[in-house]
Chain A
Amino acid sequence: MIRASGHRDPVVAVTALVLWLLLALFVVYPLGMLFARMVVDQGGFTTAAIAKILTDRNQIRAFWNSLLLATLVGALGTAVGFLFAFTAARGRLPRWLLAMVDASVLLPLVSPPFTTAIAIIFSFGPRGLITYELLGMKGVTVYGLTSTFVSEALTYFPIAYLTLRPILAAIDSNIEGMAFSLGASRWRVFRTVTLPLATPGLANAFLLLFAASLADFATPLILAGNQFPVLPTQAYLQITGLFDLRGGAVLSFVLLVPALVVFVLQRYWVSRRFYVTITGKGAGETPFNSISPATRNVLLMVCATVALVIVYFYALLLYASLVMALGANHTFTLQHYRVIFTEGAKAIRDTLIVAAFAMPLGGLYGVLLGYLVTKKAFIGRRSMELVSMVNYALPGTIVGIAYLIAFNDPPIELTGTALIIIACYVFRYGPTGIRATVALLQQIDKSLEEASQGMGAGSATTFRRVTLPLILPAFFAGLGVVFIRSMTAISATIFLVSISWTLITVKILDNITELALGPAAAFSVLVVVIVFVVIAAIGRLLRLFRAPGNVPMASLLGG
């Protein structure tokens, strides 16, 4: 039990007030403005804009396309993720092989959102390495549903893997051994014991992937083409192509409906259906062999194939960044890197500056709000936690358009500044730090603080020497996620960049649109390298402080 204290503490009151003001300004106000823009025109209430969009056949198609794409991505991604998770949890893999699996899964997690998409164009495009060079096909078109959904499934299946692996690992293999001893075949055990126990996890993974795909902006923008419009790209085109802010607002709101349904299902329905399989003593040294050696080999082969495809994609990206023009001229060159470090230097510098500011602010925001809502009593504590999660849960397109509408005009004019991008990142990705802080604080037993007190330490000393070091991992997790997302995000911030402040991800998108695929590849490689360096540095810091835990990778995904 966490005892809430400090009821009339002025420091708590002031901090809570400041946080409420910030949440009102950067979460509630933009969404309110977004809604107002939809229904208020020239001072009067109107549903004309909504009616116009909802009767547009193209937009209705986009809505159904979005749902179809999300369903397919959810299904394939969950299947692949389950395969990886099951192999990792039951395959009795040697340590190094497990590390390899984890590494290949990590790659898509830390990359800019369209790296897989670019690699698919490189491989299967009109001048693709496989379609044109290898198979000699001419005039193939890679754009459409198939490539989009395969690309998204490959990008997002790590979410399913990271969700399912602990669940499968927590199912005591003795339970499977028990069913086996009752005379069931291995396949029957899998079908009647393992799979039912993992079902809530599968549902959860599916919903997470569904939401990720629904919100994904970058992949369909590059791969879906004109024939397969989806909501996030339609909203973007409505605003950037037709300068119709109102239409864009309506489209993003249409996107909100399924996103909200999925969020509610995931939070309140699936999360209550997890089974607990506590069976006294653990499996011990001789766990039951849930899968036969033959099955194990098949599983390993399939996983290896998927992992190879991922590695191939990234190798291709690296290769494309080092040759003149992939598919046409394979002469080695550093030209693309020269381009990104000259013409692209501003984007790199801007991104790093934005990330450098967003990172500490986001980390601090997460720990502060997390500590406040768990340990202190003040009015509106629960609702503060809820409101703080809103920007995190919404598709980036909605948040981006809301910020664009809210901060374009007085009283608060932020468009064109770095502040608007930084604020977007802090309030969109800082919640990872909040969740990590809350989770950590709930694990820290009251007796630790009491032990410190019993040995003569006052509350300030106890906070500094016991509580703070113990929530440090949450701070680093917040830092890591905000930094990585600052390097890779695009769906919200594409609406917020300007001539004064631009981002690498937006630059990559420009490059792709201009068919300058070499620089796009070079940028992507650069981002992957920077992100890996930062993750390694944070891991080292965590070890330095002997803090248990790690950067929560599952929260890194999505545009």
Chain B
Amino acid sequence: MTAESIGVDVEGVSKRYAHRVKGEVYAARDVVLHVKPGEFLTLLGPSGCGKTTTLRMIAGYEMPDAGRIRFGGQDVTHEPANRRNIGFVFQNYALFPHLSIFENVAYGLRVRGIDEAEIGRRVGEVLVLVGLSGYEQQFSSQLSGGEQQRVALARAIVIRPRVLLFDEPLSNLDAKLRVQMRHEIRELQRTLGITTVYVTHDQEEAMAVSDRIAVMSAGSVVQEGTAEDLYHRPASQFVAQFVGRVNLVPGRITSIAGDVAKVAALGSTVDALVLTAGLSPGAAVRLVVRPESMAIAPVASGSGALAATVTSRTFLGEKIEYLLRCADETLQVVRYDSGPGDIMAEGSIVAVRFAEGAVTVLPETVAAAKSE
């Protein structure tokens, strides 16, 4: 049931609304996105960043104040949702409570005037696909959250939409089911090859399902890339903090050689990769250090390391989380547990060593929020 995949282009789309206190506010501002045919793109960002507004404009539930939206090159900017041939999965599923599961899934087919035998065949097929055959005559109130989610999914794909759109589809499920469902959604999308735009505020979920992620903040896309790009090469402190956990350590560049800068920080000098242009010696910067890219060892074990004090430790089974005090900075460190006896005591002095090439540097911004 694979249809031909098409690309989705969002070209400089904006949406304003009147705010009672702030006056005119942009919910989305000059958003540019190019989703390739068959690609799974996720819009990731905190609440209020404009990701849902953007998705709803792609769906046709909101009309942009400026910009164009194209499906496979065809301009659909002013087409309402019912003419765009989309599959939309709502956060609350939006199953029709008065219709059976069969009728819920059949709804879009009936609207299209497809004959009864074909409807029966296609609904049956798609219910098998989401693992719900036998549920045809049930009603949504009789289903669990995960099952309702699958019905919503079945209802969206049965019409063979050109684009599949998800608005935080997993946020009403419990943690375990969320992990399971995101795999199922990913598998299904791969099988069907439908171009997909997915909205979430959960960075782990975004990394798990997407080909590519667009991080949004304050109505705009601030960085786009694969999960690895975003995690290892964040272009801003916002992205560094939003995607994964990070230490942002203040420092000052002393010299630059090629793409490696020497940074005075933590009472020492640290080598860091320079990813952004425009940094020169003397600039105030932040070192970007992921908690898992630091090794710690009892203090006697060698030179070239920073000394730090363990202020707290949390044993989590597979890993141990430490908070270290190092030259008046707090560092989060995660170490995988290699066996009993591998644990540093609280209050002990340890040597901290950064993994090779794992430290990057970003310019200090005024708006740098919390540094955890």
Residues of A within 8 A of B (CB): 445, 447-448, 450-458, 461, 465-466, 469-470, 545-548
For residue B111, CB closer than 8 A to chain A, the reply is yes
- CB within 8 Å of A: which of B72-93? 80-83, 85-88, 90-92
Determine whether the beta carbon of A451 is less than 8 Å from that of B80: no
Determine whether the beta carbon of B90 is less than 8 Å from that of A461: no
Q: How far is the CB of B95 from chain A (nearest CB, A)?
A: 8
Query: Which of B86, B112, B139 is the one whose CB lies under 8 Å from A454?
Result: B86
Q: How far is the CB of B100 from chain A (nearest CB, A)?
A: 8
Assembly CA distance A445 to B91 (angstroms): 11
Assembly CA distance A427 to B59 (angstroms): 43
Nearest CB in chain A to that of B61: its residue? A450
List, in ascending order, chain A residues with CB within 8 A of B111's CB: 455-457, 461
Determine whether the beta carbon of A450 is less than 8 Å from that of B94: yes
A-B contact pairs, 7 of them (CB 8 A): A445-B94, A450-B90, A451-B90, A454-B60, A461-B111, A469-B98, A470-B97
Enumerate the 4 nearest inter-chain pairs by beta-carbon distance, A residue then B residue, closest first.
A455-B108, A447-B94, A451-B94, A454-B88
Determine whether the beta carbon of A450 is less than 8 Å from that of B97: no
Determine whether the beta carbon of B92 is less than 8 Å from that of A456: no
Nearest CB in chain B to that of A469: its residue? B98
Assembly CA distance A448 to B90 (angstroms): 9
Determine whether the beta carbon of B92 is less than 8 Å from that of A454: no
Q: How far is the CB of B238 from chain A (nearest CB, A)?
A: 29
List, in ascending order, chain B residues with CB within 8 A of A454's CB: 59-61, 81-82, 86-88
- Of residues B82, B107, B108, which shows the largest number of chain A Cβ atoms within 10 Å of its Cβ? B82
Q: Annotate B92-120 by CB proximity to A: 1 below 8 A, 0 otherwise.
A: 10101110000000011001100000000
- Of residues A450, A455, A457, A545, which shows the largest number of chain B Cβ atoms within 10 Å of its Cβ? A455
Assembly CA distance A121 to B112 (angstroms): 67
Query: Which of A447, A457, A466, A469 is the one whose CB lies under 8 Å from B90?
Result: A447
- Of residues B87, B97, B98, which shows the largest number of chain A Cβ atoms within 10 Å of its Cβ? B98
Determine whether the beta carbon of B82 is less than 8 Å from that of A457: yes
Query: Which of B83, B86, B96, B112 is the one whose CB lies under 8 Å from A466?
Result: B96
List, in ascending order, chain A residues with CB within 8 A of B286's CB: none
Given known A445-B92, A447-B90, contact A452–B107 (CB-CB < 8 A): yes
Assembly CA distance A456 to B111 (angstroms): 6
For residue B155, CB closer than 8 A to chain A, the reply is yes
List, in ascending order, chain B residues with CB within 8 A of A451's CB: 88, 90, 94, 96, 155
List, in ascending order, chain B residues with CB within 8 A of A458's CB: 82
For residue B324, CB closer than 8 A to chain A, the reply is no
List, in ascending order, chain A residues with CB within 8 A of B80's CB: 453
Residues of B within 8 A of A (CB): 59-61, 80-83, 85-88, 90-92, 94, 96-98, 107-108, 111-112, 139, 155, 159
Q: How far is the CB of B55 from chain A (nearest CB, A)?
A: 12
Determine whether the beta carbon of B108 is less than 8 Å from that of A456: yes
Determine whether the beta carbon of B88 is less than 8 Å from that of A450: yes
Given known A450-B61, A451-B88, A546-B139, contact A456–B159 (CB-CB < 8 A): yes
List, in ascending order, chain A residues with CB within 8 A of B96's CB: 448, 451-452, 466
Determine whether the beta carbon of A447 is less than 8 Å from that of B108: no
Assembly CA distance A545 to B97 (angstroms): 11
Q: A450-B94, A458-B82 are in contact. List 15 more A-B contacts (CB 8 A).
A: A445-B92, A447-B91, A447-B92, A447-B94, A451-B94, A452-B96, A453-B81, A454-B61, A454-B86, A454-B87, A456-B83, A456-B85, A457-B82, A469-B98, A547-B98
Assembly CA distance A455 to B107 (angstroms): 7
Assembly CA distance A5 to B91 (angstroms): 24
Determine whether the beta carbon of B81 is less than 8 Å from that of A450: yes
List, in ascending order, chain B residues with CB within 8 A of A546's CB: 98, 139
Nearest CB in chain A to that of B139: its residue? A546
Determine whether the beta carbon of A456 is less than 8 Å from that of B88: no
Q: How far is the CB of B304 from chain A (nearest CB, A)?
A: 50
Nearest CB in chain A to that of B88: its residue? A454
Q: How far is the CB of B219 from chain A (nearest CB, A)?
A: 20
Determine whether the beta carbon of A456 is less than 8 Å from that of B82: yes
List, in ascending order, chain B residues with CB within 8 A of A445's CB: 92, 94
Nearest CB in chain A to that of B141: its residue? A548
Nearest CB in chain A to that of B158: its residue? A455
Determine whether the beta carbon of A470 is less than 8 Å from that of B98: yes
Nearest CB in chain B to that of A443: its residue? B97
Determine whether the beta carbon of B94 is less than 8 Å from that of A448: yes
Assembly CA distance A545 to B139 (angstroms): 13
Nearest CB in chain B to that of A466: its residue? B96
Nearest CB in chain B to that of A450: its residue? B61
List, in ascending order, chain B residues with CB within 8 A of A453's CB: 61, 80-82
Q: How far is the CB of B35 from chain A (nearest CB, A)?
A: 18
Assembly CA distance A547 to B83 (angstroms): 30
Assembly CA distance A157 to B107 (angstroms): 46
Assembly CA distance A455 to B159 (angstroms): 8
List, in ascending order, chain A residues with CB within 8 A of B59's CB: 454
List, in ascending order, chain A residues with CB within 8 A of B92's CB: 445, 447
Assembly CA distance A301 to B85 (angstroms): 64
List, in ascending order, chain B residues with CB within 8 A of A447's CB: 90-92, 94
Q: How far is the CB of A471 from chain B (nearest CB, A)?
A: 10
Q: How far is the CB of A379 from chain B (nearest CB, A)?
A: 21
List, in ascending order, chain A residues with CB within 8 A of B112's CB: 456
Determine whether the beta carbon of B155 is less than 8 Å from that of A455: yes
Q: How far is the CB of A367 from chain B (nearest CB, A)?
A: 16
Q: How far is the CB of B207 from chain A (nearest CB, A)?
A: 27
Q: How far is the CB of A147 from chain B (nearest CB, A)?
A: 47
Determine whether the beta carbon of A548 is less than 8 Å from that of B97: yes
List, in ascending order, chain B residues with CB within 8 A of A461's CB: 111
Q: How far is the CB of A10 from chain B (nearest CB, A)?
A: 21
